[in-house]
Structure 1
C-alpha cells in the first residue's frame, strides 16, 4: 500500500498502518523537514478545524499518545509544558475539554482577564518528524521522494491521500484552501511557559511557544493567501503583540522567520473511495491548524478505512 504525503498526517498514518503489519510505502514530494508540518508551532489544541463533533475524539486520542511520548522528550520531541490560553472560557469549548487533564480557569495573577491554564503537549517538529520517520522505517515502512500527479494511477491496492493543501489540485478538491501562518523565532529571554491569545476568526492570533531552538512567536491566519515569503512589517507586529503580553520579549534577537500554509477545509475529509479493480483510495486531509493535534486519532480512522474489519 502507498501513503501519499510525508507531513505529520502522512507519517503518523503510515506508522499506524506499518505497526498493524501492513507493508507501507510513503511517497512524498519533499522531505518532512520541508513540509508545512515542519513550520508548525505544534501546541496540542483543536484550532481552526472542523467538524467539532468528531475533532474532540480525534484530539483526545492523540493527546493520550503525546502524553506517553512526553516521557522521552529528547527522542520524540514531545514535552508537556504549562501555559495559558488568554481570552478562552471552558463553556466556549466542546465536550472534549472536560476530559483534558488539568485544564482549568486561570487564577487571579496568572492572566489579566478570562483565560484557561493547562499543561499540554508542545512538540518540537524538528525532532518529531525525523522520529516519526525512524519509527516508520523501524516497522518496515519505506519513505520515497516521488511526485504523484494522479492518485488513481498509483500502483497499489490501497492508497491513502494525506497530501494536505496539495489535495486542492490532486483530487481535485477546491474546498481545500490555504490559511497562511507567519512566525518569528527569537532568542528565548527565559520564558518557560507558552501563551496564546487567539480569536478564532481573527487574522492576528498572538502566541509564544518555548521550543528548544528558540521562542516561536506568532502569528497570522490569512485565508486564501499563498505567499511563502515572510513580510517584515507583519513580523514586526507579531513581536510587538507578544511583547505587549510578555515585555521581556521586546528586543529579543531574531533568529529566523517562518511561513506555512495551513490546509483548511470546511471539514476534514476522512473517507474511503472505491476504485476500479477492487482498489481503494482513502482520504485523510483538510486538518487546518490542528494537524498535529488530531494526527493519531485521524491516522487510526484512516487505517480502519483502508483495511475494514471483517
Structure 2
C-alpha cells in the first residue's frame, strides 16, 4: 500500500528532488517517483559548474540562477556532505559586459587576458544528490522507484502532480519540443589542477572544459543536439582529452579512469514552469526543459514551481 500524498513529483534528478524538498519543508506530504536512482539520472553525470549555459528564456534565467547561486554559496561552507565547493577558474573569451544583468551580481569577477575570471560553485553531483535525498527524507518525503508511462498514474494517487521528468516530458507531457543534447565527458586522474576552465563556442558541438572534482578531473565535452546515444564514443573521448591537453599539457599523460554520457533535456521554447488543471480536477505543474543548466537554476525553478502548487 503506497503512502498517502499531497503531491507526487515525477522525476528524481536535481530538479525533482529540489522541488520535492521545498514542498516537503512546507509541510506537504510528498512522494517522488523516479524510474532511476538519483545516481543514474542525467543530473549525476553533469560536470556541474554553476553557470547559465544553454538555457532559455533569458528574461527569467538570471533570477532563477542567482537564487540558486545564493543557496550554493551557503552550502559551500560545508562541502563534505553537500558536495558544493567554491572554486576559481576562467571562462575563456567571456566578457562581463556582454552578459546579462545577472552577471553584475557575481562577486569578485574580473576581466583577464584569457577571458572572465571568477569563483563559482562547483558541485560534486553524486554527493549533492544524496544530500538532497537525505534532506527530503528528514522533511518527511519519500522517494520511490517507479516507471511512469502516463502522468495520470500519479494524478490518480495525489491531488497535485509535479512533472520534473526532463527528457521524459517529450512523451509524458507530451511535448515534441523537448530534445536531447548529448554531452560526453572523460574523467582522468587529476595531475594537480585545482582550478576549472571552460571554452565554449555556441556554433560548435565541441566544447572544452575541465573541472577538478573530488573523484578526478572531469574533461569535456560535447553538445550534440538530437543525438540520443548514451554510450561513450572512443574517438570523441580522444578528441576531448586532446583539446583539454592543449589548455593544460599535463592532462595528456593523465590516466583515464572513466567515461560519462548524459543527455541534457533541452526544450525549443525554453524552460516550462506552468500549471494546468487536469480533467479529473487535479493540478499538474510542469518544471522541465532546463537544457545544460538544470543544476544552475535548480532552486530558482523549484521555487517557481512550488509557488504554482499553492
- Tell me whether the two structures share a fold, i.e. TM-score over 0.5: yes
Q: Alpha-carbon deviation of 1:305?
A: 0.4
> What is the distance in 1 between the residues matched to 2:141 and 2:109?
37
Deviations 1:183-206 (A, max 9, x none): 000000000000000112320110
> What is the distance in 2 between the residues matched to 1:179 and 1:44?
18
Q: What is aligned with 1:131?
A: 131
Q: What is aligned with 1:225?
A: 227
> What is the distance in 2 between the residues matched to 1:210 and 1:61?
24
- Give the superposed CA RMSD: 0.8
Number of residue pairs the alignment of both structures matches? 301
**Correspondence for 1:61 among 53, 57, 67:** 67
| 1:5 to 2:5 alignment | no
> What is the distance in 2 between the residues matched to 1:134 and 1:276?
35
> What is the distance in 2 between the residues matched to 1:163 and 1:201?
28
**Correspondence for 2:82 among 76, 79, 86:** 76
In structure 2, the gaps of 5 or more residues are 1-6
In structure 1, the gaps of 5 or more residues are none
Query: SS at 1:22's partner residue?
Result: coil
> What is the distance in 1 between the residues matched to 2:16 and 2:183?
21
Q: What is aligned with 2:267?
A: 265
> What is the distance in 1 between the residues matched to 2:34 and 2:239?
35
> What is the distance in 2 between the residues matched to 1:279 and 1:201?
43
**Correspondence for 2:214 among 212, 215, 236:** 212
**Correspondence for 1:99 among 89, 97, 105:** 105
TM-score (norm 1): 0.96
Q: Alpha-carbon deviation of 1:90?
A: 1.4
Q: What is aligned with 2:153?
A: 153
Q: What is aligned with 1:256?
A: 258
Query: SS at 2:36's partner residue?
Result: coil
Deviations 1:68-108 (A, max 9, x none): 000010010000000000011112211100011112212x4
Counterpart mapping for 1:134-213 below 5 A: 134-154=134-154, 155-213=157-215
TM-score (norm 2): 0.96
